[in-house]
């Protein structure tokens, strides 16, 4: 069965956004993420900010990138839930870490953090609703 059929068969909360809405949100967030993360990585390489500031950005990037293969490739709801908690926690960490060096980067993460907060609640709800399936 393809991933969309599998996903559509899962029990989901009534407030689950349509896949097209989720896609649109990510299309808005990806440029913000690319610019702000790129800035942090370049500044860390140039030693204008401590490299430790870039660490949560790197963790977030990796966790964000592996979510889809975990959720839709492996079809592991518990592991996807753990992954999205790492994504969410690393956003909070990176916002705090970069604040003293580039406050605009912290502010740029607010929509990303808001969306991932909703996505985390959704993922955890789907995982609980489908436990044992």
Which pair of structure tokens corresponds to residue 127? 């995982």
pTM for this prediction: 0.94
Q: Quote the pLDDT of residue 88.
A: 98
CA distances from 56 to 74, 115, 128 (A): 25, 18, 28
Q: Quote the pLDDT of residue 89.
A: 98
**123: Cβ–Cβ under 8 A, 6 or more apart, which residues?**
71, 77, 80, 81, 84
Say yes or no to pLDDT of 91 above 80: yes
26-68 pLDDT per residue, tens? 999 999 999 999 999 999 999 999 999 999 999 999 999 999 9
Task: Give me the mean pLDDT over the 100-116 stretch.
Answer: 98
Does a structural domain hold residue 3?
no
Does a structural domain hold residue 4?
no
Task: Give the structural domain span for 95.
Answer: 21-129
**Residues 61/78/74/23 CA torsion (nearest 10 deg):** -50
Does a structural domain hold residue 7?
no
Q: Quote the pLDDT of residue 132.
A: 81
Q: Quote the pLDDT of residue 133.
A: 73
The sign of the CA dihedral 49, 51, 57, 58 is positive
Does a structural domain hold residue 77?
yes
Cβ contact 33:105 at 8 Å? no
In terms of Cα–Cα distance, which of 123, 132, 129, 128 is closest to 17?
123
Does a structural domain hold residue 11?
no
Structural domain count, the chain: 1
22-32 pLDDT per residue, tens? 999 999 999 99
């Amino acid at each position: 069965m393809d991933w969309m059929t599998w996903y559509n068969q899962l029990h989901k909360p009534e407030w689950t956004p349509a896949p097209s809405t989720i896609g649109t949100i990510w299309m808005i967030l990806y440029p913000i993420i690319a610019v702000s993360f790129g800035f942090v990585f370049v500044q860390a390489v140039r030693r204008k900010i401590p490299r430790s500031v870039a660490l949560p950005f790197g963790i977030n990037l990796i966790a964000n990138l592996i979510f889809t293969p975990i959720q839709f490739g492996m079809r592991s709801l518990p592991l996807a839930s753990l992954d999205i908690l790492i994504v969410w926690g690393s956003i909070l960490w990176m916002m705090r870490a970069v604040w003293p060096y580039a406050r605009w980067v912290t502010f740029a993460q607010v929509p990303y953090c808001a969306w991932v907060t909703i996505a985390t609640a959704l993922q955890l709800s789907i995982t609980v609703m489908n436990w044992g399936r």
